[in-house]
Amino acid sequence: MAIERWQPFSELMSLRQAMDKLFEDSFVRPSRALAVLGELTVPALDVYQTPNEVVVKATLPGLKPEDISIDITGETLTIRGETKAEEEIKKEDYLYQERRYGSFSRRVVLPGGLKTDKAEATMEDGVLTLTIPKAEEVKPKAIKVKAKEKPKEKK
């Protein structure tokens, strides 16, 4: 039996590498299961404003307008919905099942000064577009700067 010299730093390096891998896998690259769950529970949003309105676009593929609920309370917009299975298929008959079904909710804070009672929502090709007009007092107003006339000197 051969005697080997113990080198503690080589073991510490492997422990450090294991810890780095653990943190990298957990935080930098979330697992596929969490990514798919995130897609189900949080639809992707684009929120932007023009001089006259705030526009919210949400990607909701496969949903019908009657499956979506939109609420604006104060300055908080909530979009809820549910993706339903199209037909009943037994679990054992599946070869792959990657599409997710269930309810989702997304909440976002909007800027103040909106006419929420005049909001309009449309759905086209899986994209929900919500348009909320701004109140007159928050619309940007252009003010023209005039040059001040100098008084003429008397000669």
pLDDT reported for residue 27 = 62
| pLDDT single digits (tens) 76-125 | 999 999 887 767 777 777 787 777 778 888 899 998 889 999 999 999 99
What is d(CA 60, CA 123) in angstroms, rounded to the nearest whole number?
9
Terminal-to-terminal C-alpha distance of the chain: 118
Q: Under DSSP, is residue 111 helix (H, G, I), strand (E, B) or coil?
A: coil
User: Can you give the pTM of this predicted structure?
Assistant: 0.61
pLDDT at 37 over 70: no
